[in-house]
Structure 1
Amino acid sequence: MVHLVPFNRNTSSRCILALFSALCLASLGATEELNGAVHFIPDISVSSFSNYGGSSNDGGGLYQGFKNFLSGRLVGSSENLPQTEDVPQEAVPGNPVPRPVVIWHGLGDSYDSDGINRVGVTLRRARPGTFVYAVRVSNSSRDDSQAGFVGQIKDQLEEVAQEIKNIPELQGGFDAIGFSQGGVFLRGYLQQYNDPPIRNLITFGSPHNGVASLPQCENNNFICRRRNELFEARVYTASAQTTIIPAQYFRDPLRYSEYIEMSGFLADLNNERANYHGGGSTVDALVLQERSAVEPVRNKTSAANFAQAQRLVMVMFDADVTVVPKESAWFQEVDKTTGALTPLEQRPIYIQDWIGIKRLGDRGGLIYETLPGAHMEIKESDLTRLSLKYLG
């Protein structure tokens, strides 16, 4: 059974201010259990919720209901995972000190959860002596978890950047791993701050091109369908874009002009707003800019920071139905009407190098990886393999 994180009075009031009161009521009235909450596979597994849920007996309904939305809550079997005391904490004499690693958890998780702690154990087991720092917006586990749902991404990034800058072990630069939305936030740190710099960034199931739709509901789940309708109808309001974290990277290509006008985070991170010149309500208007005479606006700070990076490794889960479309994890565009797929390298953001990512790709620093399974199902062996291959 998934533990319900209490949804405190302050958070609830902010939800209402964000025009999500109907969503709150719908969630509080839901009585169904979460379906498929945890999929255990050898070593490490991550919650993958295919339906919304909640309990009528507590105030955690809305929080728990959206926990599946880009969730990155790591869990695992203690029988299959190494314990901290089994892992060497010091670097092997004669070997160079491993580069430190920063982790940013996904929605609904917290910096000190068992799963995130076990990720740290796995990284130190692969490279003894690795300093691992888990990003936190609050030292309170509950508040840190709730901050993944309620708040402003830009404010949280600024706080995290200052915290990282004050950690002595990170001053020479570090590698980073982002789970689900945490991967997009770490890319935000790289592009907008990067002091100290990220050298290699691995993102697992992270919606770099945003989320175009909420996860599909079962046909007979009226509450889920109604909740999705309410969320999507209100997602591009000022209140939602300054209060609800997932709304700030919700990118519906059929409502592209609304997204450009109202987006509280992703449109600026991807430098789309500066390069949009109107002409249509869908993303096709943006694609046409590649052929136009309009000089693209480049984010020089972002480009300079990407120039310091060695790799961006984007991991997609082949059966992901939580991030919609799943190809967003590879920065790809999917036409919601036809299903046509546009690879990153064929998109204006890459061709015109709006954020500096083309420079990274030109020197072989853009890596695509696929893992089998649903959103955030990760084997310890895969985490070890990818970290040894791309970090350090």
Structure 2
Amino acid sequence: MASIGFPVTLLLLGGSCWLSLGSAAGPVPLVIWHGMGDSCCNPESIGYIKKIVEEKIPGIYILSLMIGKNLIEDVENGFLMNVNDQVKLVCGILAKDPKLQGGFNAMGFSQGGQFLRAVVQRCPSPPMLNLVSVGGQHQGVYGFPRCPGESSRLCDWIRKMLDLGAYTQAVQERLVQAQYWHDPLNEEEYRKNSLFLADVNQERCINQTYKKNLMSLKKFVMVKFLNDTMVDPPASEWFGYYRSGQAKETIPLKETLLYTEDRLGLKEMDKAGKLVYLGAEGDHLHFSKEWFFKNILPFLQ
């Protein structure tokens, strides 16, 4: 089978009552958030996904999020716009879209996966029904193995900024990837200075509203790429991470404090059958159309 290749643009770092209404009024709308280095409408990546979903679900309304006024800004903002500002912007877009007010499904690719999770935690209206995270790094990353091209000046600059200090105020405010940089060797600094991830993962305190909103999802689907060479560690795609204090051994979600202390409601969601773990053979964001139709499409219908 041919894989859907997401080259440079997508390599790394988005009740029964309603179902009855959706059946009468048309398919449940879908919101998509692309990953780092990509844009809302790239015909070889997100644009292609949008097209094949529309072919399989006739009449579906799909909003592929553009973060900025044009495609260039959309790409740049994936590197340089404060994530909290991006989430706030998206919440405003969703709230104003009349086609989404009855509820919608959401699908995020790579960093778009954790950004859409922040949307459901912070902005419950209009309601997100199902969240599909395709390679999202929900416990963050501790490595930057590849960017859109090893020779990219922007990637070289990002690496230098992270080396200088991922948790300095200047880097946190300027660099998107620093805002989900999770250093297992320095958890205290991470919890104290991470502008985005430490907040949405309830690392500093428990926000009951975040927990309640996330638990409102019908399904939270997490796709992990089983041969991922670009996300460090790949376990983050299933909400696992490095065991604190070292950067070699990873532990699954159920062994993390987020789960055992149920900081996000994931333990309750798991018991209720709301968490779905999917594995995809291949590297980061590489999967076949057949795999997508079989494993992802059911959550969008």
Between stretches 256-265 and 94-103, larger displacement belongs to 94-103
**Pair 121,338 (structure 1): closer, same or farther in 2 beyond 3 Å:** closer
Query: Deviations 1:227-282 (Å, cap 9, x if unpaired)?
Result: 746523321110111110001000010121221121110000100022xxxxxxxx
The residue type equivalent to 1:47 in the other structure is P
Whether 1:111 aligns to 2:71 is no
Please say if residues 11 and 285 of structure 2, whose CA atoms lie closer than 8 Å, have aligned partners that are also in contact. no
C-alpha displacement of 1:191 = 0.7
CA distance in 2 between partners of 1:226 and 1:133 (Å): 32
Whether 1:262 aligns to 2:193 is yes
What's the counterpart of residue 26 of structure 2?
97
C-alpha displacement of 1:43 = 5.8
Percent of matched pairs sharing the same residue = 33
What's the counterpart of residue 146 of structure 1?
76
**Pair 381,261 (structure 1): closer, same or farther in 2 beyond 3 Å:** same
Whether 1:44 aligns to 2:4 is yes
> Secondary structure of the equivalent of 1:321?
coil
What's the counterpart of residue 137 of structure 1?
67
CA distance in 2 between partners of 1:227 and 1:144 (Å): 18
The higher relative CO (CA closer than 8 Å, separation ≥ 6) is in 2
The residue type equivalent to 2:214 in the other structure is F
C-alpha displacement of 1:324 = 0.3
Whether 1:242 aligns to 2:173 is yes
TM-score (norm 1): 0.68
1:302 to 210, 235, 239: 210
Aligned residues between the structures: 286
**Pair 227,247 (structure 1): closer, same or farther in 2 beyond 3 Å:** closer
What's the counterpart of residue 70 of structure 1?
12
CA distance in 2 between partners of 1:239 and 1:226 (Å): 14
Superposed, 1:265-284 pairs within 5 Å as: 265-274=196-205
1:356 to 265, 276, 279: 265
Q: Which runs of 5+ in 2 are unaligned?
A: 15-22
TM-score (norm 2): 0.87
What's the counterpart of residue 17 of structure 2?
none
Whether 1:325 aligns to 2:233 is yes
2:252 to 324, 335, 343: 343
What's the counterpart of residue 20 of structure 2?
none
> Secondary structure of the equivalent of 2:269?
helix
> Secondary structure of the equivalent of 1:103?
strand
2:90 to 160, 171, 192: 160
Please say if residues 91 and 123 of structure 2, whose CA atoms lie closer than 8 Å, have aligned partners that are also in contact. yes
CA distance in 1 between partners of 2:25 and 2:297 (Å): 14
The residue type equivalent to 2:241 in the other structure is E
What's the counterpart of residue 391 of structure 1?
300
CA distance in 1 between partners of 2:77 and 2:146 (Å): 25
CA distance in 2 between partners of 1:160 and 1:313 (Å): 21
Please say if residues 144 and 159 of structure 2, whose CA atoms lie closer than 8 Å, have aligned partners that are also in contact. yes
The residue type equivalent to 1:190 in the other structure is V
> Secondary structure of the equivalent of 1:149?
helix
Please say if residues 310 and 360 of structure 1, whose CA atoms lie closer than 8 Å, have aligned partners that are also in contact. no
Greater CA radius of gyration, 1 or 2? 1
1:207 to 125, 130, 137: 137
CA distance in 2 between partners of 1:227 and 1:243 (Å): 10
CA distance in 2 between partners of 1:68 and 1:256 (Å): 28
> Secondary structure of the equivalent of 1:148?
helix
C-alpha displacement of 1:194 = 2.2
Please say if residues 162 and 171 of structure 2, whose CA atoms lie closer than 8 Å, have aligned partners that are also in contact. no
The residue type equivalent to 2:88 in the other structure is E
